[in-house]
A and B are shown apart, each in its own frame.
Chain A
Amino acid sequence: MKTSSPLESGSLVDRVHPLTKLYFCLALVILSFFLDLRGEAVLALIALSLTLLSSKRWAIIKRFLRYVFPVAMVILLLNLLVYPESPEIRHVIGIKVNPAGFTFGLGVSIRLIIISLSLLLFFATTSAHQLSIALLMKGANPRAIYVFAHSLQMLDTLGRKIQRIYIAQSSRGLKTRGHPLKRVKAFFPILLPVIFSYLSESLERGLALEIRGLGIQGPRSFLTEIRESKLERVTNRILFTATVLIVAWRILRWLLL
Protein backbone atom coordinates (compact mmCIF):
# COMPACT_ATOMS: atom_id res chain seq x y z
CA MET A 1 0.00 0.00 0.00
CA LYS A 2 1.19 3.47 -0.87
CA THR A 3 0.96 5.74 2.16
CA SER A 4 4.32 7.35 2.75
CA SER A 5 6.10 9.37 0.13
CA PRO A 6 4.63 9.88 -3.33
CA LEU A 7 7.99 11.21 -4.48
CA GLU A 8 9.28 7.84 -5.57
CA SER A 9 9.47 8.25 -9.30
CA GLY A 10 11.54 10.47 -11.55
CA SER A 11 15.13 11.64 -11.33
CA LEU A 12 16.85 13.04 -8.26
CA VAL A 13 15.86 16.60 -9.19
CA ASP A 14 12.19 15.56 -9.28
CA ARG A 15 12.32 13.74 -5.98
CA VAL A 16 13.67 16.53 -3.78
CA HIS A 17 11.24 17.82 -1.12
CA PRO A 18 8.96 20.44 -2.73
CA LEU A 19 9.99 23.18 -0.34
CA THR A 20 13.72 22.53 -0.74
CA LYS A 21 13.12 22.79 -4.47
CA LEU A 22 11.19 26.02 -3.95
CA TYR A 23 13.93 27.52 -1.77
CA PHE A 24 16.53 26.62 -4.36
CA CYS A 25 14.56 28.25 -7.15
CA LEU A 26 13.94 31.33 -5.02
CA ALA A 27 17.66 31.57 -4.28
CA LEU A 28 18.39 31.52 -8.03
CA VAL A 29 15.71 34.16 -8.65
CA ILE A 30 16.92 36.47 -5.88
CA LEU A 31 20.59 36.13 -6.82
CA SER A 32 19.84 36.91 -10.46
CA PHE A 33 18.92 40.44 -9.38
CA PHE A 34 22.19 40.96 -7.53
CA LEU A 35 24.91 39.46 -9.70
CA ASP A 36 26.71 40.93 -12.71
CA LEU A 37 26.64 39.45 -16.20
CA ARG A 38 29.24 36.78 -15.42
CA GLY A 39 27.43 35.76 -12.25
CA GLU A 40 24.16 35.64 -14.18
CA ALA A 41 25.74 33.37 -16.75
CA VAL A 42 26.78 30.96 -13.98
CA LEU A 43 23.24 30.98 -12.54
CA ALA A 44 21.74 30.38 -15.99
CA LEU A 45 24.09 27.44 -16.45
CA ILE A 46 23.04 25.96 -13.11
CA ALA A 47 19.34 26.35 -13.97
CA LEU A 48 19.88 24.85 -17.39
CA SER A 49 21.82 21.83 -16.16
CA LEU A 50 19.23 21.10 -13.47
CA THR A 51 16.53 21.32 -16.13
CA LEU A 52 18.40 18.80 -18.26
CA LEU A 53 18.80 16.48 -15.26
CA SER A 54 15.08 16.53 -14.56
CA SER A 55 12.82 13.92 -16.13
CA LYS A 56 10.47 16.71 -17.23
CA ARG A 57 13.17 18.38 -19.36
CA TRP A 58 11.20 18.34 -22.62
CA ALA A 59 8.04 19.75 -21.07
CA ILE A 60 10.10 22.53 -19.49
CA ILE A 61 11.96 23.31 -22.71
CA LYS A 62 8.71 23.34 -24.68
CA ARG A 63 7.13 25.86 -22.34
CA PHE A 64 10.35 27.84 -22.21
CA LEU A 65 10.42 28.11 -26.00
CA ARG A 66 6.77 29.07 -26.11
CA TYR A 67 6.50 31.65 -23.33
CA VAL A 68 9.98 32.88 -22.49
CA PHE A 69 12.43 32.59 -25.34
CA PRO A 70 10.57 34.90 -27.79
CA VAL A 71 10.30 37.59 -25.09
CA ALA A 72 14.00 37.29 -24.24
CA MET A 73 14.97 37.62 -27.90
CA VAL A 74 12.74 40.63 -28.52
CA ILE A 75 14.11 42.30 -25.38
CA LEU A 76 17.66 41.76 -26.61
CA LEU A 77 16.89 42.98 -30.12
CA LEU A 78 14.94 46.08 -29.14
CA ASN A 79 17.46 47.28 -26.59
CA LEU A 80 20.13 46.75 -29.20
CA LEU A 81 18.27 49.09 -31.57
CA VAL A 82 16.67 51.58 -29.17
CA TYR A 83 18.61 52.65 -26.10
CA PRO A 84 18.35 56.41 -25.58
CA GLU A 85 20.43 56.29 -22.35
CA SER A 86 23.64 55.87 -24.35
CA PRO A 87 24.51 58.04 -27.37
CA GLU A 88 27.19 55.66 -28.68
CA ILE A 89 26.11 54.11 -31.98
CA ARG A 90 27.86 51.65 -34.26
CA HIS A 91 27.01 50.56 -37.75
CA VAL A 92 26.79 46.82 -38.30
CA ILE A 93 25.97 45.85 -41.86
CA GLY A 94 24.29 49.18 -42.36
CA ILE A 95 22.07 49.02 -39.23
CA LYS A 96 22.52 51.45 -36.36
CA VAL A 97 23.08 49.45 -33.14
CA ASN A 98 23.81 50.48 -29.60
CA PRO A 99 26.51 48.48 -27.71
CA ALA A 100 25.39 49.69 -24.26
CA GLY A 101 21.84 48.69 -25.12
CA PHE A 102 23.09 45.27 -26.11
CA THR A 103 24.82 44.74 -22.76
CA PHE A 104 21.73 45.96 -20.93
CA GLY A 105 19.37 43.80 -23.00
CA LEU A 106 21.62 40.80 -22.48
CA GLY A 107 21.49 41.30 -18.72
CA VAL A 108 17.68 41.56 -18.70
CA SER A 109 17.12 38.58 -20.99
CA ILE A 110 19.56 36.30 -19.14
CA ARG A 111 17.88 37.25 -15.86
CA LEU A 112 14.51 36.45 -17.41
CA ILE A 113 15.88 33.11 -18.57
CA ILE A 114 17.21 32.24 -15.09
CA ILE A 115 13.95 33.21 -13.40
CA SER A 116 11.80 31.39 -15.91
CA LEU A 117 13.87 28.22 -16.02
CA SER A 118 14.03 27.87 -12.25
CA LEU A 119 10.31 28.54 -11.80
CA LEU A 120 9.42 26.23 -14.69
CA LEU A 121 11.63 23.56 -13.18
CA PHE A 122 9.87 23.93 -9.85
CA PHE A 123 6.35 23.98 -11.28
CA ALA A 124 6.93 21.16 -13.76
CA THR A 125 8.46 18.73 -11.29
CA THR A 126 6.14 19.44 -8.37
CA SER A 127 2.55 18.22 -8.33
CA ALA A 128 -0.05 20.53 -6.83
CA HIS A 129 -0.97 17.79 -4.38
CA GLN A 130 2.61 17.36 -3.13
CA LEU A 131 3.08 21.08 -2.80
CA SER A 132 -0.23 21.40 -0.92
CA ILE A 133 0.74 18.71 1.58
CA ALA A 134 4.24 20.14 2.06
CA LEU A 135 2.83 23.63 2.72
CA LEU A 136 0.05 22.37 4.99
CA MET A 137 2.56 20.40 7.04
CA LYS A 138 4.47 23.66 7.51
CA GLY A 139 1.31 25.25 8.89
CA ALA A 140 -0.08 27.02 5.80
CA ASN A 141 -3.75 28.08 5.92
CA PRO A 142 -5.85 25.09 4.78
CA ARG A 143 -8.49 27.31 3.17
CA ALA A 144 -5.92 29.15 1.06
CA ILE A 145 -4.35 25.84 0.03
CA TYR A 146 -7.80 24.52 -0.88
CA VAL A 147 -8.46 27.54 -3.10
CA PHE A 148 -5.16 26.99 -4.88
CA ALA A 149 -5.67 23.25 -5.46
CA HIS A 150 -9.32 23.63 -6.44
CA SER A 151 -8.82 26.43 -8.94
CA LEU A 152 -6.03 24.46 -10.56
CA GLN A 153 -8.41 21.54 -10.96
CA MET A 154 -11.26 23.82 -12.05
CA LEU A 155 -9.26 25.43 -14.82
CA ASP A 156 -9.69 22.29 -16.88
CA THR A 157 -13.44 21.84 -16.32
CA LEU A 158 -14.14 25.56 -16.70
CA GLY A 159 -12.36 25.68 -20.05
CA ARG A 160 -14.41 22.74 -21.31
CA LYS A 161 -17.63 24.28 -19.99
CA ILE A 162 -16.97 27.56 -21.81
CA GLN A 163 -16.31 25.62 -25.03
CA ARG A 164 -19.54 23.66 -24.60
CA ILE A 165 -21.71 26.69 -23.93
CA TYR A 166 -20.05 28.55 -26.83
CA ILE A 167 -20.93 25.73 -29.21
CA ALA A 168 -24.47 25.39 -27.80
CA GLN A 169 -25.15 29.13 -28.04
CA SER A 170 -23.69 29.40 -31.55
CA SER A 171 -25.92 26.55 -32.72
CA ARG A 172 -28.90 28.44 -31.29
CA GLY A 173 -28.02 31.31 -33.58
CA LEU A 174 -25.90 33.49 -31.32
CA LYS A 175 -23.71 35.72 -33.48
CA THR A 176 -20.11 35.23 -32.42
CA ARG A 177 -18.62 36.69 -35.56
CA GLY A 178 -18.87 39.92 -37.52
CA HIS A 179 -19.08 43.44 -36.17
CA PRO A 180 -17.17 44.00 -32.86
CA LEU A 181 -20.35 45.19 -31.14
CA LYS A 182 -22.11 41.93 -32.04
CA ARG A 183 -19.24 39.97 -30.59
CA VAL A 184 -19.37 41.99 -27.37
CA LYS A 185 -23.07 41.10 -27.18
CA ALA A 186 -22.16 37.42 -27.55
CA PHE A 187 -20.00 37.67 -24.46
CA PHE A 188 -22.85 37.58 -21.93
CA PRO A 189 -24.94 34.63 -23.17
CA ILE A 190 -21.78 32.55 -22.81
CA LEU A 191 -20.43 33.98 -19.59
CA LEU A 192 -23.65 34.18 -17.55
CA PRO A 193 -24.62 30.48 -17.71
CA VAL A 194 -21.08 29.58 -16.67
CA ILE A 195 -21.19 31.92 -13.68
CA PHE A 196 -24.69 30.81 -12.63
CA SER A 197 -23.87 27.14 -12.65
CA TYR A 198 -20.68 27.61 -10.67
CA LEU A 199 -22.44 29.86 -8.17
CA SER A 200 -24.99 27.23 -7.22
CA GLU A 201 -22.24 24.65 -7.18
CA SER A 202 -20.20 26.86 -4.85
CA LEU A 203 -23.13 27.02 -2.45
CA GLU A 204 -23.33 23.27 -2.13
CA ARG A 205 -19.63 22.62 -2.14
CA GLY A 206 -19.03 25.26 0.51
CA LEU A 207 -21.56 23.50 2.70
CA ALA A 208 -19.89 20.12 2.18
CA LEU A 209 -16.45 21.57 2.95
CA GLU A 210 -17.70 23.11 6.18
CA ILE A 211 -19.21 19.87 7.46
CA ARG A 212 -16.09 18.01 6.44
CA GLY A 213 -14.10 20.27 8.69
CA LEU A 214 -12.11 22.48 6.30
CA GLY A 215 -12.74 25.55 8.46
CA ILE A 216 -11.81 23.86 11.73
CA GLN A 217 -8.73 25.27 13.42
CA GLY A 218 -6.28 23.07 15.25
CA PRO A 219 -3.68 20.44 14.44
CA ARG A 220 -4.16 18.44 11.25
CA SER A 221 -2.88 15.05 10.23
CA PHE A 222 -2.03 13.69 6.78
CA LEU A 223 -2.76 10.40 5.08
CA THR A 224 0.20 11.01 2.79
CA GLU A 225 3.08 12.65 4.61
CA ILE A 226 5.90 14.49 2.91
CA ARG A 227 8.80 15.09 5.24
CA GLU A 228 12.23 16.62 4.70
CA SER A 229 15.23 14.37 5.06
CA LYS A 230 18.12 15.50 7.24
CA LEU A 231 20.11 16.30 4.10
CA GLU A 232 17.28 18.46 2.77
CA ARG A 233 17.04 20.36 6.03
CA VAL A 234 20.78 21.05 5.97
CA THR A 235 20.53 22.09 2.31
CA ASN A 236 17.75 24.56 3.15
CA ARG A 237 19.94 26.18 5.78
CA ILE A 238 22.98 26.36 3.52
CA LEU A 239 20.87 27.85 0.72
CA PHE A 240 19.46 30.49 3.02
CA THR A 241 22.84 31.45 4.47
CA ALA A 242 24.57 31.52 1.10
CA THR A 243 21.86 33.70 -0.47
CA VAL A 244 21.93 36.17 2.39
CA LEU A 245 25.73 36.33 2.36
CA ILE A 246 26.01 36.89 -1.40
CA VAL A 247 23.28 39.55 -1.38
CA ALA A 248 24.91 41.31 1.59
CA TRP A 249 28.30 41.21 -0.11
CA ARG A 250 26.90 42.70 -3.32
CA ILE A 251 25.06 45.47 -1.48
CA LEU A 252 28.19 46.25 0.52
CA ARG A 253 30.23 46.49 -2.65
CA TRP A 254 27.74 48.87 -4.24
CA LEU A 255 27.75 51.04 -1.15
CA LEU A 256 31.54 51.14 -0.93
CA LEU A 257 32.30 51.69 -4.61
Chain B
Amino acid sequence: MASALIKVENFSYRYKGSQKYALANLSFAVEEFECCGIIGPSEAGKTTLALALSAVLPHYFSGGWKEGNVVVDGSDAFTTPLEKMTRKVGFLPQNSNIYLTGIKPTVREEIAFSMENLGFDRGLMVQRVEDLMREVGISHLADRDPLELSGGETQRLTLACVLALDPPVLILDEPTLSLDPEGIRALSALLRRLKGRKTLLIVEQHHEIFPRLVDSILVMDQGRKVYRGSPREFFAGGFSFEREVGAPVWTELYYELSRRAGRSLASFPYTYREALGKLTELT
Protein backbone atom coordinates (compact mmCIF):
# COMPACT_ATOMS: atom_id res chain seq x y z
CA MET B 1 0.00 0.00 0.00
CA ALA B 2 1.26 3.44 -0.85
CA SER B 3 1.76 5.78 2.09
CA ALA B 4 1.63 9.56 2.28
CA LEU B 5 5.21 10.68 1.76
CA ILE B 6 4.42 14.37 2.04
CA LYS B 7 2.03 15.70 4.62
CA VAL B 8 1.12 19.36 4.91
CA GLU B 9 -1.17 20.07 7.86
CA ASN B 10 -2.92 23.40 8.52
CA PHE B 11 0.17 25.16 7.30
CA SER B 12 0.33 28.96 7.21
CA TYR B 13 3.33 31.12 6.45
CA ARG B 14 4.22 34.80 6.46
CA TYR B 15 7.53 36.20 5.24
CA LYS B 16 9.55 38.41 7.55
CA GLY B 17 8.35 42.00 7.42
CA SER B 18 5.13 41.10 5.55
CA GLN B 19 1.61 41.28 6.93
CA LYS B 20 0.18 39.12 4.15
CA TYR B 21 -0.08 35.36 4.42
CA ALA B 22 1.87 33.74 1.60
CA LEU B 23 0.25 30.44 2.55
CA ALA B 24 -2.92 30.15 4.59
CA ASN B 25 -4.16 27.06 6.41
CA LEU B 26 -3.00 24.69 3.71
CA SER B 27 -3.53 20.94 4.10
CA PHE B 28 -2.83 18.16 1.64
CA ALA B 29 -0.91 14.91 1.26
CA VAL B 30 1.06 13.33 -1.55
CA GLU B 31 1.54 9.57 -1.80
CA GLU B 32 4.84 7.90 -2.55
CA PHE B 33 5.63 7.88 -6.31
CA GLU B 34 2.72 10.20 -7.03
CA CYS B 35 3.25 12.95 -9.57
CA CYS B 36 1.42 16.08 -8.47
CA GLY B 37 1.02 19.25 -10.54
CA ILE B 38 0.70 22.53 -8.66
CA ILE B 39 -1.10 25.34 -10.46
CA GLY B 40 -2.63 28.69 -9.71
CA PRO B 41 -2.42 32.34 -10.69
CA SER B 42 0.66 34.38 -9.81
CA GLU B 43 1.01 35.25 -6.11
CA ALA B 44 -0.92 32.05 -5.34
CA GLY B 45 1.91 30.86 -3.10
CA LYS B 46 3.15 28.07 -5.37
CA THR B 47 6.81 29.00 -5.07
CA THR B 48 6.49 29.55 -1.33
CA LEU B 49 5.02 26.06 -1.03
CA ALA B 50 7.89 24.62 -3.08
CA LEU B 51 10.36 26.44 -0.81
CA ALA B 52 8.63 25.13 2.31
CA LEU B 53 8.63 21.52 1.09
CA SER B 54 12.30 21.67 0.12
CA ALA B 55 13.20 23.03 3.57
CA VAL B 56 14.58 26.23 2.07
CA LEU B 57 12.04 28.42 3.86
CA PRO B 58 13.21 27.72 7.42
CA HIS B 59 16.91 27.59 6.58
CA TYR B 60 17.25 30.43 4.14
CA PHE B 61 14.45 32.91 4.84
CA SER B 62 15.02 33.64 8.50
CA GLY B 63 12.49 35.38 10.67
CA GLY B 64 9.34 34.19 8.91
CA TRP B 65 6.24 33.25 10.86
CA LYS B 66 4.65 29.83 10.52
CA GLU B 67 1.88 27.67 11.91
CA GLY B 68 1.11 24.00 11.27
CA ASN B 69 3.43 21.35 9.91
CA VAL B 70 5.22 20.30 6.77
CA VAL B 71 6.45 16.70 6.95
CA VAL B 72 8.46 15.07 4.16
CA ASP B 73 9.40 11.40 4.40
CA GLY B 74 8.89 11.43 8.15
CA SER B 75 10.96 14.58 8.79
CA ASP B 76 9.61 17.97 9.77
CA ALA B 77 10.92 20.39 7.13
CA PHE B 78 11.21 23.17 9.70
CA THR B 79 13.18 21.39 12.41
CA THR B 80 15.31 18.89 10.49
CA PRO B 81 18.86 20.04 9.66
CA LEU B 82 19.38 21.12 6.08
CA GLU B 83 21.97 18.43 5.31
CA LYS B 84 19.38 15.78 6.14
CA MET B 85 16.61 17.50 4.19
CA THR B 86 18.71 17.96 1.04
CA ARG B 87 19.03 14.17 0.87
CA LYS B 88 15.26 13.82 1.05
CA VAL B 89 14.11 16.59 -1.26
CA GLY B 90 15.65 17.72 -4.50
CA PHE B 91 14.57 21.22 -5.49
CA LEU B 92 14.91 22.75 -8.93
CA PRO B 93 14.37 26.52 -8.67
CA GLN B 94 12.89 28.60 -11.49
CA ASN B 95 16.08 30.05 -12.89
CA SER B 96 18.19 27.03 -13.70
CA ASN B 97 21.14 29.15 -14.86
CA ILE B 98 21.62 30.50 -11.38
CA TYR B 99 21.34 27.04 -9.84
CA LEU B 100 24.81 26.30 -11.19
CA THR B 101 27.74 27.10 -8.93
CA GLY B 102 29.54 29.28 -11.45
CA ILE B 103 32.90 27.98 -10.24
CA LYS B 104 33.16 24.50 -11.73
CA PRO B 105 35.11 24.15 -14.98
CA THR B 106 33.30 21.09 -16.32
CA VAL B 107 29.82 19.57 -16.41
CA ARG B 108 31.18 16.53 -14.53
CA GLU B 109 32.50 18.67 -11.69
CA GLU B 110 29.26 20.65 -11.55
CA ILE B 111 27.17 17.52 -11.02
CA ALA B 112 29.52 16.30 -8.29
CA PHE B 113 29.30 19.56 -6.25
CA SER B 114 26.60 18.53 -3.77
CA MET B 115 28.07 15.03 -3.36
CA GLU B 116 31.46 16.60 -2.61
CA ASN B 117 29.90 18.84 0.01
CA LEU B 118 28.28 15.87 1.72
CA GLY B 119 31.49 13.84 1.57
CA PHE B 120 30.31 10.99 -0.67
CA ASP B 121 32.65 8.11 -1.34
CA ARG B 122 34.68 9.02 -4.42
CA GLY B 123 34.09 5.75 -6.29
CA LEU B 124 30.34 6.06 -5.82
CA MET B 125 30.51 9.71 -6.88
CA VAL B 126 32.42 8.98 -10.10
CA GLN B 127 29.94 6.26 -11.02
CA ARG B 128 26.89 8.35 -10.21
CA VAL B 129 28.10 11.33 -12.21
CA GLU B 130 28.43 9.10 -15.29
CA ASP B 131 25.01 7.51 -14.68
CA LEU B 132 23.31 10.87 -14.24
CA MET B 133 24.84 12.32 -17.39
CA ARG B 134 23.56 9.30 -19.32
CA GLU B 135 20.14 9.52 -17.69
CA VAL B 136 19.55 13.16 -18.66
CA GLY B 137 21.38 12.78 -21.97
CA ILE B 138 24.40 15.05 -21.54
CA SER B 139 27.25 12.50 -21.58
CA HIS B 140 28.65 14.15 -24.69
CA LEU B 141 29.00 17.44 -22.76
CA ALA B 142 30.96 15.96 -19.83
CA ASP B 143 34.06 18.12 -20.21
CA ARG B 144 32.36 21.30 -21.39
CA ASP B 145 32.14 24.53 -19.38
CA PRO B 146 28.72 24.47 -17.64
CA LEU B 147 28.25 28.19 -18.24
CA GLU B 148 28.49 27.80 -22.01
CA LEU B 149 25.61 25.39 -22.55
CA SER B 150 22.32 26.14 -24.31
CA GLY B 151 19.10 26.66 -22.35
CA GLY B 152 17.88 23.11 -22.77
CA GLU B 153 21.30 21.63 -21.97
CA THR B 154 21.57 23.78 -18.84
CA GLN B 155 18.14 22.60 -17.75
CA ARG B 156 19.16 18.95 -18.11
CA LEU B 157 22.44 19.57 -16.31
CA THR B 158 20.54 21.25 -13.48
CA LEU B 159 18.23 18.27 -13.22
CA ALA B 160 21.25 15.95 -13.02
CA CYS B 161 22.63 18.14 -10.20
CA VAL B 162 19.32 17.93 -8.34
CA LEU B 163 19.24 14.15 -8.76
CA ALA B 164 22.84 13.77 -7.57
CA LEU B 165 21.89 13.13 -3.93
CA ASP B 166 19.23 10.65 -5.08
CA PRO B 167 16.38 12.27 -3.13
CA PRO B 168 13.06 10.37 -3.01
CA VAL B 169 11.14 13.61 -3.56
CA LEU B 170 11.70 16.01 -6.45
CA ILE B 171 10.20 19.51 -6.55
CA LEU B 172 10.38 21.48 -9.76
CA ASP B 173 9.44 25.16 -9.92
CA GLU B 174 8.30 26.00 -13.46
CA PRO B 175 10.89 23.80 -15.17
CA THR B 176 9.67 24.67 -18.69
CA LEU B 177 9.87 28.44 -18.19
CA SER B 178 12.88 29.17 -20.39
CA LEU B 179 12.67 26.19 -22.74
CA ASP B 180 11.86 26.04 -26.44
CA PRO B 181 9.24 23.49 -27.65
CA GLU B 182 11.92 20.89 -28.32
CA GLY B 183 13.32 21.38 -24.82
CA ILE B 184 9.88 21.04 -23.27
CA ARG B 185 9.29 17.74 -25.11
CA ALA B 186 12.65 16.39 -23.96
CA LEU B 187 12.05 17.50 -20.39
CA SER B 188 8.59 15.97 -20.13
CA ALA B 189 9.92 12.69 -21.56
CA LEU B 190 12.68 12.78 -18.94
CA LEU B 191 10.19 13.43 -16.13
CA ARG B 192 7.99 10.56 -17.33
CA ARG B 193 11.02 8.28 -17.02
CA LEU B 194 11.49 9.43 -13.42
CA LYS B 195 7.88 8.61 -12.55
CA GLY B 196 7.53 5.48 -10.49
CA ARG B 197 10.97 6.03 -8.96
CA LYS B 198 10.49 9.48 -7.46
CA THR B 199 7.68 11.40 -5.90
CA LEU B 200 7.31 14.44 -8.11
CA LEU B 201 5.81 17.86 -7.42
CA ILE B 202 5.74 20.18 -10.40
CA VAL B 203 4.75 23.84 -10.28
CA GLU B 204 3.86 24.50 -13.89
CA GLN B 205 2.03 26.94 -16.17
CA HIS B 206 2.62 24.90 -19.27
CA HIS B 207 -0.39 22.61 -18.86
CA GLU B 208 0.15 20.62 -22.05
CA ILE B 209 2.67 18.38 -20.27
CA PHE B 210 0.11 17.40 -17.61
CA PRO B 211 -2.08 14.75 -19.31
CA ARG B 212 0.77 12.33 -19.87
CA LEU B 213 2.59 13.16 -16.65
CA VAL B 214 0.64 14.09 -13.54
CA ASP B 215 -1.57 11.82 -11.43
CA SER B 216 -3.13 14.59 -9.41
CA ILE B 217 -3.14 18.35 -9.11
CA LEU B 218 -3.22 20.94 -6.38
CA VAL B 219 -4.81 24.23 -7.37
CA MET B 220 -4.00 27.26 -5.25
CA ASP B 221 -5.20 30.83 -5.03
CA GLN B 222 -3.97 33.52 -2.63
CA GLY B 223 -2.14 31.00 -0.48
CA ARG B 224 -5.14 28.70 -0.13
CA LYS B 225 -6.02 25.31 -1.54
CA VAL B 226 -8.96 25.56 -3.93
CA TYR B 227 -8.83 22.11 -5.50
CA ARG B 228 -7.01 18.86 -4.84
CA GLY B 229 -7.70 15.78 -6.91
CA SER B 230 -7.84 14.39 -10.40
CA PRO B 231 -6.54 16.65 -13.17
CA ARG B 232 -9.00 15.13 -15.62
CA GLU B 233 -11.96 16.09 -13.48
CA PHE B 234 -10.59 19.61 -13.06
CA PHE B 235 -9.74 20.36 -16.67
CA ALA B 236 -12.42 18.28 -18.43
CA GLY B 237 -15.07 19.58 -16.04
CA GLY B 238 -14.21 23.14 -17.04
CA PHE B 239 -13.28 24.17 -13.48
CA SER B 240 -10.00 25.59 -14.70
CA PHE B 241 -11.93 28.25 -16.62
CA GLU B 242 -13.96 29.25 -13.59
CA ARG B 243 -10.70 29.61 -11.67
CA GLU B 244 -8.93 31.31 -14.58
CA VAL B 245 -5.78 29.25 -14.17
CA GLY B 246 -5.49 28.09 -17.77
CA ALA B 247 -5.65 24.60 -19.23
CA PRO B 248 -3.98 22.56 -21.98
CA VAL B 249 -4.30 24.52 -25.21
CA TRP B 250 -6.66 21.98 -26.83
CA THR B 251 -8.95 22.06 -23.80
CA GLU B 252 -8.97 25.86 -24.02
CA LEU B 253 -9.75 25.64 -27.72
CA TYR B 254 -12.89 23.62 -27.03
CA TYR B 255 -13.90 25.90 -24.23
CA GLU B 256 -13.53 28.95 -26.46
CA LEU B 257 -15.45 27.27 -29.30
CA SER B 258 -18.30 26.26 -27.04
CA ARG B 259 -18.46 29.72 -25.50
CA ARG B 260 -18.70 31.36 -28.93
CA ALA B 261 -21.34 28.88 -30.02
CA GLY B 262 -23.25 29.67 -26.86
CA ARG B 263 -23.42 26.01 -25.92
CA SER B 264 -22.17 24.49 -22.72
CA LEU B 265 -20.38 21.18 -23.07
CA ALA B 266 -20.70 18.43 -20.47
CA SER B 267 -16.98 17.84 -20.66
CA PHE B 268 -13.93 19.17 -22.46
CA PRO B 269 -11.20 16.99 -23.93
CA TYR B 270 -8.29 16.64 -21.45
CA THR B 271 -5.69 14.82 -23.53
CA TYR B 272 -4.47 15.65 -26.99
CA ARG B 273 -5.86 12.34 -28.27
CA GLU B 274 -9.31 13.07 -26.92
CA ALA B 275 -9.29 16.46 -28.61
CA LEU B 276 -8.16 14.90 -31.84
CA GLY B 277 -10.87 12.21 -31.51
CA LYS B 278 -13.61 14.80 -31.03
CA LEU B 279 -12.38 16.72 -34.05
CA THR B 280 -12.43 13.66 -36.29
CA GLU B 281 -16.00 12.98 -35.12
CA LEU B 282 -16.97 16.37 -36.53
CA THR B 283 -15.33 15.95 -39.95
User: Interface with A: B32-40, B97-105, B192-200, B245-253, which one?
Assistant: B97-105
Assess whether B95 is interfacial by the CB under 8 Å rule: yes
Interchain CB contact under 8 A, B120 and A221: yes
Interchain CB contact under 8 A, A212 and B114: yes
Q: Which residues of the other chain, B, contact A38 by a CB distance below 8 angstroms?
A: none
Alpha-carbon separation in the docked complex, A220 to B56 (Å): 22
Assess whether B121 is interfacial by the CB under 8 Å rule: yes
Q: Which residues of the other chain, B, contact A218 by a CB distance below 8 angstroms?
A: 83, 118-119
Interchain CB contact under 8 A, A3 and B86: no
Point out which of A3, A214, A223, A224 has the most chain B C-beta atoms below 10 A from its C-beta: A223
Interchain CB contact under 8 A, B86 and A211: yes
Alpha-carbon separation in the docked complex, A33 to B98 (Å): 45
Q: Which residues of the other chain, A, contact B103 by a CB distance below 8 angstroms?
A: 129, 132, 146, 149-150, 153
Alpha-carbon separation in the docked complex, A150 to B161 (Å): 18
Assess whether B8 is interfacial by the CB under 8 Å rule: no
User: Interface with B: A8-16, A96-104, A201-209, A233-241, which one?
Assistant: A201-209
Interface bits A129-141 vs B (CB < 8 Å: 1, else 0) = 1001000000000
Q: In the complex, which of the residues B98, B99, B101, B122 contacts A223, with contact meaning CB atoms closer than 8 Å?
A: B122
Alpha-carbon separation in the docked complex, A203 to B86 (Å): 19
Closest residue on chain B to residue A3 by CB atoms? B126
- Tell me, rounded to whole Å, the shortest Cβ–Cβ distance linking B115 to chain A: 7
Assess whether A216 is interfacial by the CB under 8 Å rule: yes
- CB contact under 8 A between A207 and B93, given known A212-B114, A212-B161, A213-B114: yes
Interchain CB contact under 8 A, A210 and B59: yes
- Tell me, rounded to whole Å, the shortest Cβ–Cβ distance linking A162 to chain B: 18
- CB contact under 8 A between A221 and B122, given known A153-B102, A204-B93, A211-B82: yes
Assess whether B129 is interfacial by the CB under 8 Å rule: yes
Assess whether A2 is interfacial by the CB under 8 Å rule: yes
Total residues of chain A contacting the partner, CB 8 A: 34
Q: In the complex, which of the residues B94, B102, B117 contacts A142, with contact meaning CB atoms closer than 8 Å?
A: B117
Assess whether B46 is interfacial by the CB under 8 Å rule: no
- Tell me, rounded to whole Å, the shortest Cβ–Cβ distance linking B49 to chain A: 15
Alpha-carbon separation in the docked complex, A222 to B129 (Å): 12
For chain A, residues 59 to 89, give those with C-beta under 8 angstroms from any C-beta of chain B. none
- CB contact under 8 A between A208 and B99, given known A223-B108, A223-B125: yes
Interchain CB contact under 8 A, B83 and A213: yes
Assess whether A178 is interfacial by the CB under 8 Å rule: no
Q: Which residues of the other chain, B, contact A219 by a CB distance below 8 angstroms?
A: 119
- Tell me, rounded to whole Å, the shortest Cβ–Cβ distance linking A62 to chain B: 24
Alpha-carbon separation in the docked complex, A2 to B107 (Å): 13
- Tell me, rounded to whole Å, the shortest Cβ–Cβ distance linking B51 to chain A: 8
Q: In the complex, which of the residues B55, B101, B126 contacts A212, with contact meaning CB atoms closer than 8 Å?
A: B101
- Tell me, rounded to whole Å, the shortest Cβ–Cβ distance linking A171 to chain B: 26
Interchain CB contact under 8 A, A206 and B60: yes
Q: In the complex, which of the residues B82, B101, B108 contacts A216, with contact meaning CB atoms closer than 8 Å?
A: B82
Interchain CB contact under 8 A, A223 and B116: yes
Closest residue on chain A to residue B124 by CB atoms? A221
Interchain CB contact under 8 A, B115 and A150: no
Q: In the complex, which of the residues A129, A209, A213, A220 contacts B105, with contact meaning CB atoms closer than 8 Å?
A: A129
- Tell me, rounded to whole Å, the shortest Cβ–Cβ distance linking B170 to chain A: 12
Q: In the complex, which of the residues B54, B102, B129, B130 contacts A211, with contact meaning CB atoms closer than 8 Å?
A: B54
Q: Which residues of the other chain, A, contact B99 by a CB distance below 8 angstroms?
A: 204-205, 208
Nearest 8 A/B pairs, CB to CB? A213-B117, A149-B103, A223-B112, A212-B114, A219-B119, A204-B98, A208-B99, A216-B83
